Structure 1
Protein backbone atom coordinates (compact mmCIF):
# COMPACT_ATOMS: atom_id res chain seq x y z
CA UNK A 1 0.00 0.00 0.00
CA UNK A 2 1.51 3.38 -0.96
CA UNK A 3 2.15 5.91 1.80
CA UNK A 4 -0.69 8.30 2.47
CA UNK A 5 -0.30 11.90 1.43
CA UNK A 6 -2.28 14.88 2.63
CA UNK A 7 -5.19 16.09 0.55
CA UNK A 8 -5.35 19.89 0.42
CA UNK A 9 -9.08 20.11 -0.25
CA UNK A 10 -11.46 19.50 2.66
CA UNK A 11 -14.29 18.17 0.46
CA UNK A 12 -11.85 15.73 -1.20
CA UNK A 13 -10.50 14.63 2.18
CA UNK A 14 -14.08 13.99 3.32
CA UNK A 15 -14.78 12.06 0.13
CA UNK A 16 -11.67 9.94 0.73
CA UNK A 17 -12.64 9.47 4.41
CA UNK A 18 -9.50 11.06 5.82
CA UNK A 19 -8.82 12.81 9.13
CA UNK A 20 -10.37 16.31 9.33
CA UNK A 21 -7.23 17.83 10.88
CA UNK A 22 -4.33 16.39 8.83
CA UNK A 23 -6.23 15.04 5.79
CA UNK A 24 -3.79 12.11 5.83
CA UNK A 25 -4.90 9.49 8.37
CA UNK A 26 -7.75 7.18 7.46
CA UNK A 27 -11.02 7.33 9.41
CA UNK A 28 -11.72 3.58 9.18
CA UNK A 29 -9.45 0.62 9.76
CA UNK A 30 -11.02 -1.90 7.37
CA UNK A 31 -12.38 -1.75 3.80
CA UNK A 32 -16.05 -0.88 3.29
CA UNK A 33 -16.86 -4.35 1.99
CA UNK A 34 -15.53 -6.22 5.03
CA UNK A 35 -17.59 -7.41 7.97
CA UNK A 36 -15.68 -4.92 10.17
CA UNK A 37 -16.63 -1.89 8.06
CA UNK A 38 -17.69 0.05 11.19
CA UNK A 39 -14.34 -0.08 13.00
CA UNK A 40 -12.66 3.28 13.56
CA UNK A 41 -9.42 3.89 15.45
CA UNK A 42 -9.70 5.96 18.62
CA UNK A 43 -7.49 8.66 17.10
CA UNK A 44 -5.81 9.53 13.82
CA UNK A 45 -2.67 7.42 13.32
CA UNK A 46 -0.87 10.47 11.86
CA UNK A 47 -1.78 13.50 14.00
CA UNK A 48 -3.50 11.81 17.01
CA UNK A 49 -6.74 13.81 16.51
CA UNK A 50 -9.44 12.01 18.47
CA UNK A 51 -12.22 10.59 16.31
CA UNK A 52 -14.81 10.63 19.10
CA UNK A 53 -14.85 14.12 20.66
CA UNK A 54 -17.35 13.08 23.34
CA UNK A 55 -19.26 9.94 24.36
CA UNK A 56 -22.28 9.35 22.14
CA UNK A 57 -21.01 11.83 19.55
CA UNK A 58 -22.09 9.73 16.57
CA UNK A 59 -25.75 9.43 17.56
CA UNK A 60 -26.31 12.54 15.46
CA UNK A 61 -24.94 10.68 12.44
CA UNK A 62 -28.20 8.70 12.38
CA UNK A 63 -30.00 11.86 11.25
CA UNK A 64 -27.42 12.43 8.52
CA UNK A 65 -27.75 8.81 7.39
CA UNK A 66 -31.51 9.21 7.35
CA UNK A 67 -31.11 12.24 5.09
CA UNK A 68 -28.84 10.29 2.74
CA UNK A 69 -31.37 7.44 2.65
CA UNK A 70 -34.20 9.86 1.93
CA UNK A 71 -32.23 11.36 -0.94
CA UNK A 72 -31.62 7.88 -2.33
CA UNK A 73 -35.32 7.04 -1.97
CA UNK A 74 -36.34 10.19 -3.85
CA UNK A 75 -33.79 9.66 -6.62
CA UNK A 76 -34.85 6.05 -7.18
CA UNK A 77 -38.52 6.99 -6.98
CA UNK A 78 -38.18 9.72 -9.62
CA UNK A 79 -36.11 7.47 -11.89
CA UNK A 80 -38.62 4.63 -11.66
CA UNK A 81 -41.56 6.94 -12.16
CA UNK A 82 -40.17 8.65 -15.25
CA UNK A 83 -38.00 5.92 -16.81
CA UNK A 84 -40.01 2.80 -15.95
CA UNK A 85 -43.42 4.42 -16.57
CA UNK A 86 -44.63 4.30 -12.94
CA UNK A 87 -44.32 0.57 -12.10
CA UNK A 88 -46.34 -1.14 -9.34
CA UNK A 89 -45.66 -0.24 -5.69
CA UNK A 90 -43.72 -3.44 -4.97
CA UNK A 91 -41.10 -2.41 -7.56
CA UNK A 92 -40.50 0.86 -5.70
CA UNK A 93 -40.23 -0.94 -2.36
CA UNK A 94 -37.86 -3.66 -3.60
CA UNK A 95 -35.71 -1.16 -5.53
CA UNK A 96 -35.31 1.27 -2.65
CA UNK A 97 -34.77 -1.47 -0.04
CA UNK A 98 -32.20 -3.20 -2.24
CA UNK A 99 -30.32 0.01 -2.95
CA UNK A 100 -30.24 1.10 0.70
CA UNK A 101 -29.02 -2.33 1.81
CA UNK A 102 -26.39 -2.38 -0.93
CA UNK A 103 -24.92 0.98 0.09
CA UNK A 104 -25.44 0.64 3.87
CA UNK A 105 -21.69 0.52 4.65
CA UNK A 106 -21.16 3.71 2.63
CA UNK A 107 -24.14 5.43 4.26
CA UNK A 108 -22.72 4.53 7.67
CA UNK A 109 -19.20 5.73 6.86
CA UNK A 110 -20.14 8.97 5.15
CA UNK A 111 -22.71 9.94 7.78
CA UNK A 112 -20.02 9.53 10.44
CA UNK A 113 -17.49 11.45 8.37
CA UNK A 114 -19.93 14.32 7.77
CA UNK A 115 -20.71 14.38 11.50
CA UNK A 116 -17.01 14.50 12.39
CA UNK A 117 -16.17 17.16 9.82
CA UNK A 118 -19.20 19.31 10.63
CA UNK A 119 -19.40 19.02 14.40
CA UNK A 120 -16.13 17.47 15.61
CA UNK A 121 -14.35 20.78 16.07
CA UNK A 122 -11.20 19.89 14.08
CA UNK A 123 -10.17 21.96 11.08
CA UNK A 124 -7.45 21.31 8.51
CA UNK A 125 -4.00 22.37 9.65
CA UNK A 126 -1.16 21.68 7.18
CA UNK A 127 1.38 21.51 10.03
CA UNK A 128 -0.14 18.20 11.12
CA UNK A 129 -0.03 16.75 7.60
CA UNK A 130 3.78 17.02 7.54
CA UNK A 131 4.28 14.39 10.26
Structure 2
Protein backbone atom coordinates (compact mmCIF):
# COMPACT_ATOMS: atom_id res chain seq x y z
CA UNK A 1 0.00 0.00 0.00
CA UNK A 2 1.23 3.47 -0.86
CA UNK A 3 1.56 6.02 1.93
CA UNK A 4 1.77 9.42 0.29
CA UNK A 5 2.26 12.71 2.04
CA UNK A 6 0.55 15.03 -0.44
CA UNK A 7 -1.76 14.73 -3.39
CA UNK A 8 -1.27 16.31 -6.78
CA UNK A 9 -3.32 19.54 -6.52
CA UNK A 10 -4.34 19.82 -10.18
CA UNK A 11 -6.84 17.41 -11.72
CA UNK A 12 -5.24 17.87 -15.13
CA UNK A 13 -1.80 17.03 -13.80
CA UNK A 14 -3.16 14.03 -11.88
CA UNK A 15 -4.73 12.78 -15.11
CA UNK A 16 -1.46 13.26 -17.02
CA UNK A 17 0.41 11.39 -14.29
CA UNK A 18 -2.25 8.63 -14.37
CA UNK A 19 -3.29 8.97 -10.73
CA UNK A 20 -6.54 8.17 -8.93
CA UNK A 21 -9.35 10.66 -9.69
CA UNK A 22 -10.44 10.84 -6.04
CA UNK A 23 -7.18 11.18 -4.07
CA UNK A 24 -4.80 12.18 -6.93
CA UNK A 25 -2.17 9.95 -5.35
CA UNK A 26 -2.70 6.24 -6.09
CA UNK A 27 -1.44 4.93 -9.41
CA UNK A 28 -3.97 3.78 -12.02
CA UNK A 29 -1.65 1.10 -13.44
CA UNK A 30 0.52 -1.46 -11.70
CA UNK A 31 3.32 -1.76 -14.28
CA UNK A 32 5.30 0.72 -16.42
CA UNK A 33 4.01 1.61 -19.89
CA UNK A 34 6.93 -0.17 -21.56
CA UNK A 35 6.18 -3.44 -19.76
CA UNK A 36 4.35 -6.32 -21.41
CA UNK A 37 1.80 -5.95 -18.59
CA UNK A 38 1.04 -2.29 -19.41
CA UNK A 39 -2.73 -2.98 -19.31
CA UNK A 40 -2.95 -4.21 -15.71
CA UNK A 41 -4.83 -2.02 -13.25
CA UNK A 42 -5.50 -2.72 -9.58
CA UNK A 43 -9.16 -3.24 -8.67
CA UNK A 44 -9.10 -0.16 -6.46
CA UNK A 45 -6.83 2.71 -5.51
CA UNK A 46 -4.17 1.57 -3.03
CA UNK A 47 -4.54 4.87 -1.13
CA UNK A 48 -8.26 5.72 -0.91
CA UNK A 49 -9.82 2.42 -2.11
CA UNK A 50 -11.73 4.13 -4.97
CA UNK A 51 -12.80 1.38 -7.35
CA UNK A 52 -11.22 1.66 -10.78
CA UNK A 53 -14.06 -0.20 -12.53
CA UNK A 54 -17.33 1.40 -11.39
CA UNK A 55 -19.44 -1.16 -13.28
CA UNK A 56 -18.87 -4.23 -15.46
CA UNK A 57 -17.87 -3.27 -18.99
CA UNK A 58 -17.15 0.32 -17.94
CA UNK A 59 -14.08 0.66 -20.16
CA UNK A 60 -15.84 -0.26 -23.41
CA UNK A 61 -16.44 3.47 -23.79
CA UNK A 62 -12.69 4.04 -23.66
CA UNK A 63 -12.48 2.49 -27.13
CA UNK A 64 -14.23 5.57 -28.51
CA UNK A 65 -11.79 7.84 -26.70
CA UNK A 66 -8.85 5.81 -28.01
CA UNK A 67 -10.29 6.06 -31.49
CA UNK A 68 -10.41 9.83 -31.11
CA UNK A 69 -6.79 9.89 -29.95
CA UNK A 70 -5.78 7.72 -32.92
CA UNK A 71 -7.62 10.04 -35.28
CA UNK A 72 -5.71 12.96 -33.79
CA UNK A 73 -2.42 11.12 -34.39
CA UNK A 74 -3.48 10.37 -37.97
CA UNK A 75 -4.35 14.01 -38.64
CA UNK A 76 -1.17 15.35 -37.04
CA UNK A 77 1.08 12.96 -38.95
CA UNK A 78 -0.84 13.58 -42.18
CA UNK A 79 -0.44 17.34 -41.75
CA UNK A 80 3.28 17.04 -40.96
CA UNK A 81 3.97 14.74 -43.89
CA UNK A 82 1.97 16.84 -46.31
CA UNK A 83 3.61 20.14 -45.43
CA UNK A 84 7.10 19.08 -44.38
CA UNK A 85 7.73 16.05 -46.60
CA UNK A 86 6.19 17.55 -49.75
CA UNK A 87 3.15 15.27 -49.93
CA UNK A 88 4.79 11.84 -50.20
CA UNK A 89 3.08 8.78 -51.76
CA UNK A 90 0.13 7.17 -49.98
CA UNK A 91 2.18 4.21 -48.70
CA UNK A 92 4.35 6.63 -46.70
CA UNK A 93 1.27 8.03 -44.95
CA UNK A 94 -0.11 4.58 -44.18
CA UNK A 95 3.20 3.17 -42.97
CA UNK A 96 4.03 6.19 -40.83
CA UNK A 97 0.63 6.35 -39.16
CA UNK A 98 0.54 2.58 -38.57
CA UNK A 99 4.03 2.59 -37.05
CA UNK A 100 3.28 5.60 -34.85
CA UNK A 101 0.02 4.14 -33.53
CA UNK A 102 1.72 0.80 -32.81
CA UNK A 103 4.52 2.51 -30.91
CA UNK A 104 2.18 4.63 -28.78
CA UNK A 105 -0.45 1.93 -28.19
CA UNK A 106 0.37 1.66 -24.46
CA UNK A 107 -0.13 5.41 -24.06
CA UNK A 108 -3.34 5.41 -26.10
CA UNK A 109 -4.68 2.56 -23.97
CA UNK A 110 -3.74 4.13 -20.64
CA UNK A 111 -4.88 7.66 -21.38
CA UNK A 112 -8.18 6.57 -22.94
CA UNK A 113 -8.93 4.60 -19.76
CA UNK A 114 -7.85 7.48 -17.55
CA UNK A 115 -10.02 9.97 -19.46
CA UNK A 116 -12.95 7.54 -19.23
CA UNK A 117 -12.47 7.14 -15.47
CA UNK A 118 -12.04 10.86 -14.83
CA UNK A 119 -14.94 11.85 -17.07
CA UNK A 120 -17.48 9.15 -16.33
CA UNK A 121 -16.29 7.28 -13.22
CA UNK A 122 -18.27 9.40 -10.79
CA UNK A 123 -15.32 10.34 -8.57
CA UNK A 124 -13.85 13.78 -8.06
CA UNK A 125 -10.92 14.99 -6.01
CA UNK A 126 -11.47 14.91 -2.26
CA UNK A 127 -8.43 15.33 0.00
CA UNK A 128 -10.27 13.72 2.94
CA UNK A 129 -9.63 10.31 1.40
CA UNK A 130 -5.88 10.66 1.86
CA UNK A 131 -6.07 9.91 5.56
CA UNK A 132 -7.78 6.53 5.14
TM-score w.r.t. structure 1 length? 0.96
- What is aligned with 1:54? 55
- What is aligned with 1:79? 80
Deviation at 1:3, TM superposition (A): 6.3
Q: How does 1:31-110 map to 2 (within 5 A)?
A: 31-110=32-111
After superposing on structure 2, the runs of 4+ consecutive aligned residues of structure 1 that deviate more than 6 Å are: none
CA distance in structure 2 between the partners assigned to 1:61 and 1:108 by the alignment: 8
Structure 1, unaligned runs of 5 or more: none
Q: Helix, strand or coil: the match of 2:67?
A: helix
| Contact 2:3–2:47 (Cα < 8 Å) also in 1 | no
Deviation at 1:129, TM superposition (A): 2.7
- What is aligned with 1:26? 27
- What is aligned with 1:117? 118
Structure 2, unaligned runs of 5 or more: none
CA distance in structure 1 between the partners assigned to 2:41 and 2:91 by the alignment: 37
CA distance in structure 1 between the partners assigned to 2:23 and 2:95 by the alignment: 41
CA distance in structure 2 between the partners assigned to 1:49 and 1:80 by the alignment: 43
TM-score w.r.t. structure 2 length? 0.95
Number of equivalent positions: 130
- What is aligned with 2:127? 126
Q: CA RMSD in A?
A: 1.3
- What is aligned with 1:13? 14
CA distance in structure 1 between the partners assigned to 2:48 and 2:127 by the alignment: 11
CA distance in structure 2 between the partners assigned to 1:3 and 1:47 by the alignment: 10
